[in-house]
Amino acid sequence: MTALFGPVSASNPLFILAVWAPAISAVVLVLAARAVSLDV
């Protein structure tokens, strides 16, 4: 795996994506739900 993705460290873009993707998607979902509720 290291040969394919590089060393696992805080500077690895895939590591950053894996860590922050759930938080980013949660923010997007909350903002989308808020926008929908404001339209009603």
The pLDDT tens digits for 14-40 are 999 999 999 999 999 999 999 888 876
pLDDT of amino acid 40: 60
Please state the pTM of the whole predicted model: 0.65
Residues near 9 by beta carbon (within 8 Å), at least 6 away in sequence: 15
pLDDT of amino acid 27: 98
Q: Write down the domain spans for the chain.
A: 2-39
More confident residue, 24 or 3: 24
Start-to-end CA distance of the chain, whole Å, equals 49
pLDDT of amino acid 1: 75
3-state secondary structure of 7: coil
